[in-house]
Amino acid sequence: MAVLFSELLVPGWADGDMIGLSEVTGEISLPCHDADADLFFDEAPARVALAKSLCAACPMKAACLEGAMSRQEPCGVWGGELFVEGTPVAVKRTVGRPRVLPQVAALEIEVIDDEALAS
Instruction: Please state whether the predicted TM-score (pTM) of the whole model is above 0.75.
Output: no
Report the relative pairing of strands 75-78 and 87-89 from DSSP bridges. Answer: unpaired
Using CA atoms, how far apart are residues 70 and 32, in angstroms rounded to an integer?
19
Q: Which residues pair with 87 in a beta bridge?
A: 84
The domain limits of the chain are 30-94
pLDDT (tens digit, 9 = 90+) per residue, 88-98?
Answer: 888 877 777 76
pLDDT (tens digit, 9 = 90+) per residue, 23-52?
Answer: 666 677 788 888 898 999 998 999 999 999
Using CA atoms, how far apart are residues 43 and 118, in angstroms rounded to an integer?
48
Give the model's confidence band at 68: pLDDT under 50 very low, under 70 low, under 90 confident, else very high: confident
Name the CA dihedral angle for 93, 50, 82, 35, rounded to a multiple of 10 degrees.
Answer: -130
